[in-house]
Structure 1
Amino acid sequence: MTDDAVKALLRRFYALQGERVEAYRLFEEGHRAYLRSAPRYDFPRYRQLVHEITVAFSGISREILQIKGRLQEEHGRPELAQHLARIQEREQEKLQLTAQLQLARQRAQDQPGEDAHQQEVRELKHRLIKTIEAISEILQDLKYDSEEAE
């Protein structure tokens, strides 16, 4: 049980978080391109993007869960493992909200006169921002707790 091993696991976790941020960027970019393909949406291309993003997120989550397990079992750091578990929960929520927001944006674009769709987009954006803020807070707690132990 070495501090270096814990630091290496945390470095890998942060790298995976970076990969997740990049995947979200590509997901959003792809969705914007999909919306621009209206009125004859290029659904096959978008479906392929969703598949690729799903595979990427699944791999990232799997590896983060392994890191969480190692922090807990091998290194006796349940507080750090708990932060990773909380981040995973919020990231799952973020992904669901992102997908809901993309669908809502398409509905709002397809029916621009329908105020309910615009309202749904606003509400989902707000919930997404709150979730991202929660993830940032947990990341801060993780940073604090990992530095405190040094």
Structure 2
Amino acid sequence: MDNDLKYLIRRFYELQAERVETYRLFEEGHQAYLKSAPHYDFVKYRQLVHEITQAFNGISKEVIQIKDRFREVYDRCDLSEHLEKIQEMEKEKLELTARLQIAKQNVQDHPSQEMYQEEMQILKHKIIKSVEAISEVLQDFKYDCEEIQ
């Protein structure tokens, strides 16, 4: 039983690493899209967004399964709640990231409009805060897992 619990914890960390990598690919793809200005390659970017969305959905589904197993099989509501918080925060971070990408394009397309620059800075700050909050919950999760490892 303990080995399965250890596996689930390890698997969760692998999924978080996949999320980080997916964000990196999303950012790289968006940068390439912005470089295609002024004749944006929207079809290619839309395909990237589709693939990124599928990747995030797959990760989320598996994290939810792990969260449910912590609660239902191991009666570890503490671990389950950490994953639930992380899921909510990751969803918010993804929404902020998508909004930031739109803001970056607006800044590029309308360089004289300061409101786009301000919006971009606000979104960057919110994403930093979001990443910090996720890191805090990950620390709590790690702490609560220590006796299992």
Normalised by the shorter chain, which TM-score bucket?
A: over 0.9
User: What residue number does 1:128 align with?
Assistant: 127
State how 1:1-150 maps to structure 2 within 5 Å: 2-148=1-147
Give the Cα–Cα distance (whole angstroms) in 2 for the partners of residues 115 and 52 of structure 1: 32
Q: TM-score, normalised by structure 1?
A: 0.97
Q: After the TM superposition, which parts of structure 1 deviate over 3 Å for at least 4 consecutive aligned residues? A: none
Structure 2: distance between partners of 1:145 and 1:5: 16
Report the CA distance between 1:39 and its aligned residue.
0.3
CA displacement 1:4-48 (0-9 Å, x = unmatched)? 221110100000111111000000000000000000000000000
Let me know the Cα RMSD of the aligned residues. 0.8
The Cα offsets for residues 37-75 of structure 1, whole Å up to 9 and x where unpaired, read as 000000000000000000000000000000000010001
Determine what percentage of the aligned residue pairs are the same residue: 61
Verify the 8 A CA contact 2:33 2:42 in the aligned structure 1: yes
**Stretches of structure 1 lacking an aligned partner (at least 5 in a row):** none
Letter in 1 for 2:106: R
Structure 2 contact 6–148 (Cα < 8 Å) conserved: no
Q: Distance in 2 between matches of 1:63 and 1:149?
A: 21
